[in-house]
C-alpha cells in the first residue's frame, strides 16, 4: 500500500466520521440539499465523480493523478453534469408517473411512488430507471466521453480546456471507440448495472436520491475510465 492510499483512506474515514460523530451535521446536509438542491448536486458530483476517475487511474497506472489528468477541468465538468443529472432525475420521476397514470392507465402509480416501500413503488422506480437510462444516459455518457477526450488533448488545464474549441463532431466520428462505447458502456452496463442501480436510487427518500446517484458517479468514473 502506497502513502497516497493511506492518505486517501484517512480522508474518506474522516469525512464519514464528520457525518456520523458530529451532531447535526447530517441534518444540516439534508437542509442544504432541500434548500439548494442543484448547487449541492454540483458539489456532490464534482467530488465523487472526479474521485471515481482518480480511483480508476490508481487501478490502471498505480497513482491517483498524473500530468495532463486535468483535475480542475474534471471537477468542473462533473459538477455541471451533476446539475444535469439532478434535473433529469426530477424530470423523469415526474414524467414517468404521469405516463403510467395517463398513458398506461395505471392510476395508482403516483400513490405507490409517494408511499412506503412496496412492490408497486419498486415497479414505478424501475420504470423511471429504465426510461431515464434508455433515453438520457447514452447522451450523457457520450458527452462525458467527448469532454474527457477534450481535457486530455488540451493538456488538462482550465485555460487549455476553454481556449480550444470543443470539436464534438470530429470527436464523435474519429476519436471515440464505439466498440467499447456502444458494445460495453451502452449495451452491457446500462441494462445490467444502471437499470437496477437507479431503481434502488428512486426507492430512497428524496434527500438521498441525488447523493446516492453521486456515489454511483464513482462507479461511472471507474467504468468510463477503465474501459477506454
Residues 27, 14: one domain?
A: yes
Residues 21, 57: one domain?
A: no
CA angle at residue 62 from 158 to 140, to 5 degrees? Answer: 45
Per-residue pLDDT, 46: 94
Residues 155, 215: one domain?
A: yes
Residues 128, 188: one domain?
A: yes
DSSP SS3 for 117? coil
Residues 24, 82: one domain?
A: no
- Pair 128, 204: CB distance under 8 Å: no
**62 torsion bin: left (phi>0), alpha (psi -120 to 50), beta (else):** left
Nearest to 133 by CA among 80, 98, 92: 92
How many angstroms separate the CA atoms of 218 and 53, rounded? 7
> Chain-wide mean pLDDT for the chain?
91
pLDDT band at 221 (very low <50, low <70, confident <90, very high): low
How many angstroms separate the CA atoms of 73 and 157, rounded? 7
- Across the range 133-151, mean pLDDT stands at 95
pLDDT in tens, 1-12: 888 999 899 998
| Tally of domains in the chain | 2
Per-residue pLDDT, 19: 81
Per-residue pLDDT, 128: 98
Full residue range of the structural domain in which residue 17 is found: 1-35
Residues 50, 119: one domain?
A: yes
Residues 90, 57: one domain?
A: yes
Residues 23, 116: one domain?
A: no
pLDDT in tens, 81-107: 999 999 999 999 999 999 999 999 999
Q: What is the pTM of this model?
A: 0.90
Alpha-carbon distance values, 2 to 16, 56, 197 (Å) = 22, 16, 31
**Residue 5: burial class (beta carbons within 10 Å; 0-12, 13-18, 19+):** exposed
Residues 52, 142: one domain?
A: yes
pLDDT band at 225 (very low <50, low <70, confident <90, very high): low
Nearest to 178 by CA among 216, 227, 132, 114: 227
Per-residue pLDDT, 101: 97
Per-residue pLDDT, 22: 86
Helices 71-98, 137-153: axis angle to 10 degrees equals 170
Nearest to 75 by CA among 37, 29, 44, 36: 44
pLDDT band at 59 (very low <50, low <70, confident <90, very high): confident
179 has pLDDT over 90: yes
Amino acid at each position: 500500500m502506497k502513502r497516497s492510499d493511506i492518505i486517501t483512506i484517512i480522508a474518506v474515514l474522516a469525512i464519514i466520521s464528520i457525518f456520523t460523530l458530529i451532531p447535526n451535521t447530517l441534518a444540516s446536509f439534508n437542509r442544504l440539499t432541500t434548500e439548494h438542491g442543484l448547487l449541492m448536486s454540483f458539489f456532490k458530483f464534482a467530488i465523487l465523480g472526479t474521485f471515481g476517475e482518480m480511483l480508476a487511474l490508481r487501478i490502471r497506472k498505480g497513482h491517483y493523478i498524473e500530468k495532463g489528468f486535468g483535475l480542475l477541468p474534471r471537477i468542473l465538468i462533473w459538477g455541471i453534469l451533476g446539475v444535469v443529472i439532478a434535473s433529469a432525475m426530477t424530470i423523469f420521476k415526474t414524467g414517468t408517473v404521469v405516463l403510467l397514470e395517463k398513458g398506461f392507465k395505471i392510476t395508482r402509480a403516483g400513490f405507490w411512488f409517494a408511499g412506503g416501500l412496496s412492490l408497486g413503488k419498486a415497479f414505478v422506480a424501475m420504470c423511471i430507471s429504465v426510461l431515464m437510462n434508455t433515453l438520457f444516459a447514452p447522451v450523457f455518457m457520450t458527452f462525458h466521453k467527448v469532454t474527457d477526450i477534450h481535457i486530455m488533448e488540451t493538456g488538462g488545464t482550465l485555460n487549455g480546456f476553454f481556449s480550444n474549441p470543443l470539436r464534438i463532431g470530429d470527436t464523435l466520428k474519429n476519436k471515440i471507440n464505439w466498440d467499447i462505447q456502444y458494445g460495453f458502456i451502452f449495451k452491457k452496463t446500462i441494462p445490467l448495472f444502471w437499470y437496477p442501480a437507479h431503481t434502488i436510487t428512486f426507492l430512497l427518500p428524496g434527500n438521498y436520491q441525488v447523493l446516492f446517484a453521486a456515489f454511483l458517479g464513482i462507479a461511472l468514473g471507474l467504468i468510463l475510465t477503465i474501459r477506454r
